[in-house]
Amino acid sequence: VIKKTEPTYKITHEPSVTSRQLKEELSGKDMIPEVRKDMMDWAQKKTLEINHLKQMAKYRREFLGNISHELKTPIFNIQGYILTLLEGGLEDTNINKLYLQRAEKSINRMISIVNDMESISRLESGIFKLEFERFNIVKLVAEVFDNIEISAKKGNITLSLKQKASEKEIWVRADKKRIFEVLTNLITNSINYGKKRGKTVVSFGSSGKNVIIRVTDNGAGIPEKDLPRIFERFYRVDRSRSRNLGGTGLGLAIVKHIIEAHKSTIRVKSKLKKGSEFSFTLKKA
Ligand SMILES: Nc1ncnc2c1ncn2[C@@H]1O[C@H](COP(=O)(O)OP(=O)(O)OP(=O)(O)O)[C@@H](O)[C@H]1O
Ligand SMILES: [Mg+2]
């Protein structure tokens, strides 16, 4: 725009410019419509940019609001326990150890919130890099099972791998650590929102150059109206229930980021009181 309007500007503001120069500068050009179009394009681009920035600012505000809200619960709990101990509870053998243990539990809760927060802000800033390698996804699932077996036992959930004999090894190319995180989140959810003596099954499928990985449970299920939102950060279907389980509502947001960074998508099918199935694909290797 500036380049095009410059001659006109010069002409109006510099007395030394003669009318002959003016004619030469402007001859053969129909500037007004062109400038007008450039201005419109520019304005449209700026509007988009401004809207994007406004959206980001809104996200940031919400994010901060959510963080302080989530941290408040454990902080106030810890404060409560410590005050009770200070006000004489320390001598009371019925509660002194118990309250310290509870305070410690709240501190662990804070640590896990802060860790999740760190991962999600790294994922959302886009600065993280995936480290691709070839690995056996069947083996990785077994490792995740080993890792969370204790919490599964507490919830009375059986974890199992559904595989044919030919599926002892399924090789994929992906970021192994991140996929470990994805599987851990999905399987932990299936335990937390599962029913007593429930079942979680991980199964595999094939679709062209991709391996399909499914995590299926027969637990609580998710109401249809909540399905589109469960991947949003801090979104929980049943806040009080989820908070009892120590949920922040960041797990699936992290899962979605990681899967999308792999240029894949995470899908969910769910029926209330019947169960849920989360699935994604990875490139075969
Ligand atoms: N397998 C499942 N069965 C039923 N509901 C589920 C399942 N997985 C997720 N949900 C619902 O989706 C919500 C969001 O899940 P997400 O993993 O993001 O958060 P969270 O488990 O509450 O907390 P976090 O994973 O951060 O500890 C959960 O609170 C729960 O209501
Ligand atoms: Mg979760």
Per-residue model confidence as pLDDT tens digits over 178-217: 999 999 999 999 999 988 889 999 999 999 999 999 999 9
10 Cα to the center of ligand 2, angstroms? 64
To 5 degrees, how large is the angle CA 217–CA 219–CA 225? 100
Q: Is a pLDDT exceeding 80 seen at residue 16? A: no
Nearest ligand, CA 240: 1
208 Cα to the center of ligand 1, angstroms? 30
Among 237, 133, 119, 189, residue whose Cα is nearest residue 202: 189
Nearest ligand, CA 274: 1
Q: Which amino acid is at 50?
A: I
Instruction: State whether the beta carbon of 116 lies less than 6 angstroms from ligand 1.
Output: yes
Residues 131, 177: contact at Cβ < 8 Å? yes
Q: Is a pLDDT exceeding 70 seen at residue 28? A: no
95 Cα to the center of ligand 2, angstroms? 31
Average pLDDT, the chain: 88
252 Cα to the center of ligand 1, angstroms? 7
Q: Would you state the structure tokens that stand for residue 34, as one six-digit string?
A: 């062109």
Instruction: State whether the beta carbon of 230 lies less than 6 angstroms from ligand 1.
Output: yes
Only one residue has tokens 């800033």, namely 125
Instruction: State whether the beta carbon of 251 lies less than 6 angstroms from ligand 1.
Output: yes
Among 263, 260, 205, 191, residue whose Cα is nearest residue 231: 260
Helix (H) or strand (E) holding 201: strand 199-207
258 Cα to the center of ligand 1, angstroms? 16
Only one residue has tokens 């980021």, namely 257
The closest-lying atom of ligand 1 relative to the alpha carbon of residue 238 is: 31
The closest-lying atom of ligand 1 relative to the alpha carbon of residue 219 is: 3
Instruction: State whether the beta carbon of 70 lies less than 6 angstroms from ligand 1.
Output: no
Local structure of 229: helix, strand or coil = helix
Helical segments of the chain, H only = 2-13, 19-26, 31-86, 96-125, 137-154, 176-192, 239-244, 251-261
Residues 248, 119: contact at Cβ < 8 Å? no
CB burial of residue 90 (10 Å; 0-12, 13-18, 19+): middle
Q: Which of 114, 123, 189, 256 most suits a substitution to test ligand 1, by most atoms within 8 Å of the C-beta?
A: 189
Instruction: State whether the beta carbon of 203 lies less than 6 angstroms from ligand 1.
Output: no
* Residue-level pLDDT at 15: 60
250 Cα to the center of ligand 1, angstroms? 8
| Global confidence as pTM | 0.78
Task: Report the C-alpha gap between 158 and 145 in whole angstroms.
Answer: 10
Instruction: State whether the beta carbon of 276 lies less than 6 angstroms from ligand 1.
Output: yes
* Residue-level pLDDT at 124: 83
172 Cα to the center of ligand 2, angstroms? 25
Q: Which residue has the higher pLDDT, 2 or 273?
A: 273
Instruction: State whether the beta carbon of 236 lies less than 6 angstroms from ligand 1.
Output: yes
User: Any residues with CB less than 8 A from the CB of 170 and at least 6 apart, and which?
Assistant: 136, 137, 138, 204, 211, 284
Residues 223, 272: contact at Cβ < 8 Å? yes
Local structure of 247: helix, strand or coil = coil
Q: Would you state the structure tokens that stand for residue 77, as one six-digit string?
A: 């709990």
Q: Which residue has the higher pLDDT, 30 or 41?
A: 41
* Residue-level pLDDT at 137: 96
Q: Would you state the structure tokens that stand for residue 39, as one six-digit string?
A: 């201005």
Q: Which residue has the higher pLDDT, 233 or 18?
A: 233
Q: Which amino acid is at 67?
A: I
* Residue-level pLDDT at 244: 64
Q: Which residue has the higher pLDDT, 213 or 29?
A: 213
Structural Rg of the chain based on CA atoms: 29
Q: Would you state the structure tokens that stand for residue 35, as one six-digit string?
A: 């400038």
Only one residue has tokens 């069947």, namely 138
What average pLDDT does the segment 133-161 reach? 90
Instruction: State whether the beta carbon of 211 lies less than 6 angstroms from ligand 1.
Output: no
Task: Report the C-alpha gap between 133 and 143 in whole angstroms.
Answer: 17
* Residue-level pLDDT at 247: 77
